[in-house]
């Protein structure tokens, strides 16, 4: 199964989770530093979420969204 993470293809075994994809891509440490995972529609996804063939995800710094709506 192939998904896309930060515009890079990642090959995974069907049934793996978002967390396992991050481990495979050596990006879990970014989450531990406060980054968040978002799907292609901009929704934050949980690390235990299921993956589907062709899914697209992006990692963004967690602080990027703090205070975004505050003026």
- Residue 51, classified by CB atoms within 10 Å of its CB into exposed (0-12), middle (13-18) or buried (19+), is buried
Which residues face 5 on adjacent strands?
Answer: 8, 57
| Angle in degrees, CA 60, 62, 65, rounded to 5 | 90
Q: What percent of the chain stands above pLDDT 70?
A: 87
Residue 41 to residue 34: CA distance in whole angstroms: 20
The whole-number pLDDT of residue 61 equals: 87
Higher pLDDT, 11 or 69: 11
Higher pLDDT, 13 or 66: 13
Residue 65 to residue 59: CA distance in whole angstroms: 12
Q: What CATH class is the domain 2-65?
A: alpha beta
* Predicted confidence (pLDDT) at residue 71 exceeds the cutoff of 60: no
């Amino acid at each position: 199964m192939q998904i896309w993470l930060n515009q890079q293809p990642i090959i995974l075994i069907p049934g793996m989770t978002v967390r396992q994809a991050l481990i495979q891509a050596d990006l879990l440490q970014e989450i531990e530093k406060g980054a968040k995972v978002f799907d292609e529609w901009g929704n934050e996804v949980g690390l235990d979420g299921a993956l589907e063939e062709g899914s697209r995800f992006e990692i963004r710094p967690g602080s990027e969204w703090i205070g975004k709506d505050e003026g």
